[in-house]
Structure 1
Amino acid sequence: MHYTLHQLEIFFKISQLKSITKAAEELNLTQPAVSIQLKKFQDQFPLPLTEYLGRKIHITEFGKEIADTAENILEQVASISYKSAAYEGKVAGKLHISVVSTGKYVMPYFLSDFMKKYPGIDLTMNVTNKSEVVKSIEENTVDFAMVSVLPSHLNISRIELMRNELFLLGKDNPSKSGNHLTTKEFKKLKLIYREKGSATRQAMESFVDQQKFTNHKKIELVSNEAVKQAVIAGLGYSIMPIIGIKNELKNKEVQIIPIKNLPISTNWNLIWLSSKKQSPAAIALSNYVKENKMEIIKKHFSWMEDRSLLP
């Protein structure tokens, strides 16, 4: 057999994404180039690694075993590079971060200059809902997580990043007075919720319950972007973090609806298990965020203090 590391990388990426097109995009290759390398790799085995059902590619059981082996080989090769960099006094290694979906508007700004400073670090950032983020910390599969609500059942360390405020948003203000929405007016709104497991969903449900509102008209969507687009389209109203609607507020596509007991204020936090032995890459990120967070907030998030965006 004469397969190459390049072929191993391509096959492993295909097995992850279940798509030649997506693998090509992620590896910055053309789709024909990926298909050719997959065929050359496949031709070296007596059993098929993939099969097609309709137009969709599937990984065979034998292919899954080869993919697992390929992953181990690629990790060992990467570790050689990391060890080499360490002997040269450079910080290198893998860094895994899990971020709640609205945190995608925040975390990249804390990582951008850090990744430029440490080019030997390979970053994986998974964006999902709160329950999955907490699960990744609980199972120790990530170095850090970014959350706005701290998991009380875990012994964690944290770096407080910045304020997170949630407002009631709509395409227009349904208040007859054009001012603060009354309880009676709120009860008539069709509310748009995030999916269960989302911290934004929990905050919204908590607000509705605490105010003793009985609102039965609701829509449920599975991402912050989907909720935002639904609000812009006029499908309903939602309680959302202001961090994700900067341009929409400035362009007057949505507006903040004043109502008693809003906004809800929390804080974004970078957290990790207190018992976790941090890698050099993780220690470097902790130190970088502590030293630079105020400058990053001032540079990228000062717009949140712009009162002209608020009612």
Structure 2
Amino acid sequence: MRKYLMRLTLRQLQVFRAVCETRSYSRAAEEMALTQPAVSQQIRQLEELVGQPLFEYVGKRLYLTDAAEALQRAGADIFARLESLDMQLSDLRGSLQGQLSLTVESSAEYVVPHLFAAFRQQHPEVGLQLTVASHAQALRRLGVSRDELMILSQVPTGMNLEFMPFLTNQIVAVAPAGHPLCQRERLSLQELTDQPLLVREPGSGTRQACETFCHDKRAHFAHTLQLGSQEAQRAGVLAGLGLALLPRHAVSLELASGRLCELPVAELPLQHSWCVVHPRDRRLSPVASAFLAYIRGNRAAINALNLSL
């Protein structure tokens, strides 16, 4: 290893990480409780050490250079190793401590708090850093190894990933209470296509799955309204804007209270599984390993938990 790299400091890497995440020197300064000149100085020192520029402006937007992307990946590995060391030392003291870094696809955001709460009953000193992202955003995070574990509904190929299906995700058609279709005993998917359909934004895993399913069934909805989240879809259905295809767990309370009804569509529910995912070549921290082991050993109980939400 070249000796100049030994002069890198953790503080410099922390400042650099903040600039990468915020794409702004001023916002990074606020986050780090520093002045903007102090942030600029730390970045200049890093650039002198690596011998290459780390950031460049195109218009008013800050972009990472190739050198910055390489340093970002190395920094993520370093901080992950330090977090893992902290957890291992805690483990040696007889208790599992540390923070689980977990990104979940937005369709799973209602289930994960219940899942983590059950895990935390066994390990009460473990914290959680939870990021909710669209499917497309989650894939971008995978590309830079931002998280130890992810929960995805569709696992990409060609990315050297380990994955384990652990929870059934049933997508159903829902309508507002009192909708004429709620009185039917049986429907086909084709019979819904003259109704407005509320859909997620492009890049949503649920939207991709539903579009593929409808295409395969030759069910083409003439009128769609694009909403930016499951919450907006659910609120839109309640407001009478149209129908939606949603994970059953995401509308379980509304179905139980009668505010929404699940339409008896013969082709539904659409069955998928959520998977816990991690890069195959990344060494997991004790907390991440314990969470993975908990899921592996409790899949039946986790599915029962999902049904009771």
> Considering the TM-score relative to the shorter chain, is it more than 0.5?
yes
Q: CA deviation at 1:80?
A: 8.1
- Name the CA distance, whole Å, in 2 between partners of 1:168 and 1:176: 11
Q: Which residue of 2 aligns with 1:232?
A: 238
Residue in structure 2 matched with residue 244 of structure 1 by the alignment: 250
Per-residue deviation at 1:301? 2.8
Distance (whole Å) between structure 2 residues aligned to residue 212 and residue 293 of structure 1 = 34
Name the CA distance, whole Å, in 1 between partners of 2:105 and 2:189: 30
CA distance in 1, matches of 2:144, 2:37: 34
Match for residue 262 of structure 1 among 262, 265, 268: 268
Tell me which of 194, 197, 202 is aligned to 1:196. Answer: 202
* Structure 1 portions without partners, runs of 5+: 1-8, 18-34, 50-59, 66-70, 305-311
The aligned amino acid for 1:231 is: V
Q: Report the equivalent of 1:130.
A: 135
Cα distance change on mapping 1:169 and 1:291 into 2, 3 Å: same
Write the distance in 2 (CA, Å) between the matches of 1:152 and 1:78. Answer: 29
- The answer to whether the 8 A contact 1:137-1:144 is kept is no
Question: Tell me, what secondary structure is at the counterpart of 2:298?
Answer: helix
Note the 1:24-63 alignment, pairs <5 A.
none
Please give the secondary structure, in 2, of the residue aligned with 1:246.
Answer: helix
- Cα offsets for 1:244-270 (capped at 9, x unmatched): 111100111111112232111111211
Contact 2:167 2:275 (8 Å CA) reproduced: yes
- Secondary structure, aligned partner of 1:259: coil
| CA drift at 1:237 | 0.6
Distance 2:273 2:201 in 1: 21
Partner of 1:212: 218
Q: Which deviations, in whole Å up to 9, do the C-alpha atoms of 1:24-80 show, x marking residues without a partner?
A: xxxxxxxxxxx9xx9xx67xx6x678xxxxxxxxxx867999xxxxx99xx799788
**2:153 aligned to which of 141, 148, 151:** 148
Preserved contact between residue 87 and residue 286 of structure 2 (Cα < 8 Å): no
Question: Structure 1 residues 184 and 285 mapped into 2: Cα distance closer, same or farther (>3 Å)?
Answer: closer
SS in 2 for 1:212: coil
CA contact (8 A) 1:194 1:222 kept: yes
Q: Is the 8 A contact 2:167 2:302 kept in 1?
A: no
Aligned residues with identical type, % of pairs: 22
In the alignment, does 2:188 pair up with 1:158? Answer: no
Q: Is the 8 A contact 2:87 2:285 kept in 1?
A: no
Q: Matches of residues 282-297 of structure 1 in structure 2 within 5 Å?
A: 282-297=288-303
Cα pair 1:147 1:269 within 8 Å, conserved = yes
Residue 61 of structure 2: aligned partner: none
After superposition, the Cα gap between the structure-2 partners of 1:80 and 1:301, relative to the gap in structure 1 and judged at 3 Å, is: closer
In structure 1, the partner of 2:100 is: 95
Match of 2:277 among 271, 279, 284: 271
Distance 2:90 2:154 in 1: 37
How many correspondences in the alignment? 267
CA deviations over 1:282-302 (Å, ceiling 9, x no partner): 11111122223323433x234
Partner of 2:184: 178
Q: Give me the whole-angstrom Cα distance separating, in 1, the residues matched to 2:190 and 2:148.
A: 46
CA–CA distance in structure 2, aligned partners of residues 213 and 77 of structure 1? 52
- 1:222 is matched with which residue? 228
Higher alpha-carbon deviation: 265-274 or 166-175 = 166-175
Closer, same or farther: CA 125–191 of 1 in aligned 2, 3 Å: same
RMSD across aligned positions (CA): 4.2
User: Displaced runs of 4+ in structure 1, greater than 6 A?
Assistant: 62-65, 75-80
Distance 1:167 1:161 in 2: 19
Contact 1:110–1:293 under 8 Å retained in 2: no
> In terms of mean alpha carbon deviation, does 159-168 or 231-240 score higher?
159-168
* Residues in 2 aligned to 1:279 and 1:80: alpha-carbon distance in whole angstroms: 8
Q: Quick check: 2:182–2:263 contact (8 Å CA) kept in 1?
A: no
The one-letter code matched in structure 1 to 2:142 is: I
What one-letter code is carried by the residue in structure 2 that aligns with 1:208? C
- Structure 2: state its 5+ residue gaps: 1-13, 23-29, 45-74
Distance in 2 of aligned mates of 1:301 and 1:249: 14
What is the TM-score when the length of structure 2 is the normalising length? 0.69
